[in-house]
Amino acid sequence: MHETPTHPIPSLNVRQWGWIAITLIVALIGIGLFATAGTAFSEDGQIARRWIDAWCAGDWETMYDLSLVGDSLTREAFIGRVEAYMRDAGLELPCVGVLDLNLLRAIPVPLELADRVDSIRIFETAQLIQPDQRRYPLTVWAYRRTGSSEWRIYPDFLAPTIEQPSEPGAAAELIDSSGVLIGFVTVLDAAQVYTAADQVVIGVPLRIQTLMRPWEFYGSALLIGSERGFPVENVNQVPPALRRDFIGARGDYVAQNLHLNGMTWYRFEGRSTVDQPLTLTFWAHSVRTETSLSAYLNVATGAVAPLAWYPNPVTAMEQVGVRDPDLIFLASLTNPTDTTAVFQCASFVAVLQDGRWDAPEYCTFSPEPFRAAFAPGESARIEVRYNGLQPGDVAQILYRVSDEARLSSYIVWPAQSDSELP
Amino acid sequence: MAEGKAASTLRVGTALRFVLPRWIAFCALCIVTGISMQVLPGMAERAQLYIDSWSHNLVFGDAMGSLTITELGYSDSDREVSPAVRFPLYPLMVRWAAPLFGGDTSLSAFWVSKIALLAGLVGLWVLVEHLHGAQHANRTTPYMLFPFLGTAYTWIYSYPEAAYLALWTWGFVLLFKKAYYGCALVTILAVWSRPHAVLILIPYALYLLIETYRERRPLGDSALWRAGLLTCGLPLIAFAAWVLHVSQISALPFAPITAQTEYGRAEQVVLPWMQIPRRLEYMQTYGVFAFNWTVLFENYQLISIMVSLILFGLFALWRRVPLVIVAFSILTIIPGLSTGIFAIGRYALLTWVPLAALYIVPPKYDAVLLPLLIGMNYLVLFVTEFSDAAEYVP
Cis before A325? omega within 30: yes
Q: Kindly report the nearest CA distance between residue B284 and chain A, in angstroms.
A: 30
Q: Report the C-alpha gap between A124 and A142 in whole angstroms.
A: 11
pLDDT digits (tens, 9 = 90+) for A86-116: 887 888 888 988 887 766 677 777 666 777 7
> Which residues 191-220 of chain B have a CB within 8 Å of chain A?
192
Evaluated on CA atoms B382, B383, B386, B392, the torsion sign reads negative
**Span B306-323, average pLDDT:** 93
pLDDT digits (tens, 9 = 90+) for A171-185: 988 887 666 788 999
Chains A, B: CB contacts within 8 A come to 133
So what's the pLDDT on residue A317? Answer: 93
**Span B256-271, average pLDDT:** 75
Q: Which chain A residues are Cβ-neighbours of B180 within 8 angstroms?
A: none
Question: Is the model's pLDDT at B316 over the cut of 90?
Answer: yes
Complex ipTM value: 0.87
Asked whether the beta carbons of residue B45 and residue A40 sit closer than 8 angstroms, the reply is no
Q: Kindly report the nearest CA distance between residue B67 and chain A, in angstroms.
A: 9
Instruction: Note every long-range contact of B171-174, with CB atoms under 8 Å and residues 24 or more positions apart, other chains counting.
Output: B171/B200, B171/B204, B172/B127, B172/B324, B172/B325, B172/B328, B173/B10, B173/B123, B173/B126, B173/B127, B173/B130, B174/B6
- A42/B328: higher pLDDT: B328
**Span A340-361, average pLDDT:** 92
Q: Report the C-alpha gap between B208 and B201 in whole angstroms.
A: 11
So what's the pLDDT on residue B362? Answer: 93
Would an 8 Å CB–CB cutoff place B390 in contact with chain A? no
So what's the pLDDT on residue B44? Answer: 58
The phi and psi torsions of A340 (rounded to 5 degrees) equal -65, 135
- Cβ contact A410:A312 at 8 Å: yes
Q: Kindly report the nearest CA distance between residue A36 and chain B, in angstroms.
A: 8
> Could you tell me the pLDDT band of residue B7, with boundaries at 50, 70 and 90?
very low
Nearest CA in chain A to B65: A102
Asked whether the beta carbons of residue A36 and residue B95 sit closer than 8 angstroms, the reply is yes
Which of A16, A26, A99 minimises the CB distance to B189?
A26
- The model's pTM is 0.74
So what's the pLDDT on residue B48? Answer: 56
> Best mutation site among A24, A29, A111 for testing chain B: the one with the most B CBs within 10 Å?
A29
Which of B89, B181, B388 minimises the CB distance to A33?
B89
B309: which DSSP letter?
H
Q: Report the C-alpha gap between B187 and B208 in whole angstroms.
A: 15
Q: Kindly report the nearest CA distance between residue B247 and chain A, in angstroms.
A: 11
> Which residues 14-53 of chain B have a CB within 8 Å of chain A?
41-42, 44-53
End-to-end, the C-alpha distance of chain A in Å comes to 130
Q: Kindly report the nearest CA distance between residue B314 and chain A, in angstroms.
A: 38
So what's the pLDDT on residue B2? Answer: 43
| 3-state class (DSSP) for residue A167 | coil
Q: Report the C-alpha gap between B183 and B305 in whole angstroms.
A: 28
So what's the pLDDT on residue A417? Answer: 53
> Best mutation site among A14, A49, A105 for testing chain B: the one with the most B CBs within 10 Å?
A105
Q: Report the C-alpha gap between A422 and B2 in whole angstroms.
A: 101
> Could you tell me the pLDDT band of residue A311, with boundaries at 50, 70 and 90?
confident
Asked whether the beta carbons of residue A23 and residue B185 sit closer than 8 angstroms, the reply is yes
**Span B374-386, average pLDDT:** 84
Which of B45, B81, B96 minimises the CB distance to A180?
B45
Roughly what angle, to the nearest 10 degrees, separates helices B89-97 and B161-176?
110
Nearest CA in chain A to B75: A38
- B123/A336: higher pLDDT: B123
So what's the pLDDT on residue A88? Answer: 78
> Which residues 92-131 of chain B have a CB within 8 Å of chain A?
92-93, 95-96, 98, 105-106
**Span B121-136, average pLDDT:** 94
Asked whether the beta carbons of residue B45 and residue A286 sit closer than 8 angstroms, the reply is yes
Looking only at the bridges linking them, the beta strands covering A171-175 and A250-251 are: unpaired
The closest alpha carbon to B328, from B210, B182, B169, belongs to: B169
> Best mutation site among B43, B55, B77, B80 for testing chain A: the one with the most A CBs within 10 Å?
B80
Would an 8 Å CB–CB cutoff place B71 in contact with chain A? yes
- Cβ contact B117:B155 at 8 Å: yes
Q: Name residue A171's beta-bridge partners.
A: A186
Asked whether the beta carbons of residue A42 and residue B71 sit closer than 8 angstroms, the reply is yes
- Cβ contact A392:A350 at 8 Å: no
Question: Is the model's pLDDT at B19 over the cut of 90?
Answer: yes
Question: Is the model's pLDDT at B207 over the cut of 60?
Answer: yes
Which of B47, B88, B388 minimises the CB distance to A37?
B88
Q: Kindly report the nearest CA distance between residue B242 and chain A, in angstroms.
A: 8
So what's the pLDDT on residue B8? Answer: 47
Question: Is the model's pLDDT at B237 over the cut of 70?
Answer: yes
Q: Kindly report the nearest CA distance between residue A94 and chain B, in angstroms.
A: 16
Asked whether the beta carbons of residue A29 and residue B95 sit closer than 8 angstroms, the reply is no
Query: ∠B81-B82-B85 over CA atoms, to 5°?
Result: 120
